[in-house]
Amino acid sequence: MPLAVQSVAASRRIGSDPLRSGPQTQPFDRAEDAWLWTMAALTARREGARYTANKGLVSRPCDPDDVVKCLDGLYRQRRIDLGHARILRVWGERQMAPSPLVAVERHDYRLWTEALERLEWPLRVKGIVA
């Protein structure tokens, strides 16, 4: 057996897992933070940036696609509808929440808060939100 293969096999027998070494991941405090981070990453990807996991200042416990999958699950379960998803996309691209104090944003604010309240639990279960 070549030396490199022996050392990998020996490290696995000892119990050290090379995937677990590295920086600690930091979950988001709220679903809104996770969503805004996700939208920033998706916007950057659309504009041609390449996403590489755990290369930012803070290492996160997920990929942007993981948050989108949680949202998709809520849609498939009919816990949110296309109106919720549209508001999350529009305001997520703006990187801000709608304001309940601005008359034309009140309806958007209601949908925004409903969607994020429903998204909170699936993200918490996956360890994305603390």
Looking at residue 103, what is its pLDDT?
A: 97
| Domain residue spans of the chain | 24-125
**62-104: pLDDT as tens digits:** 999 999 999 999 999 999 999 999 999 999 999 999 999 999 9
| Model confidence, pTM | 0.77
Give the confidence band of 17 by pLDDT, cuts at 50, 70, 90.
very low
Give the confidence band of 53 by pLDDT, cuts at 50, 70, 90.
low
**21-35: pLDDT as tens digits:** 346 889 999 999 999
Distance set, CA 117 to CA 14, 39, 64, 79, 80 (Å): 43, 17, 18, 11, 10
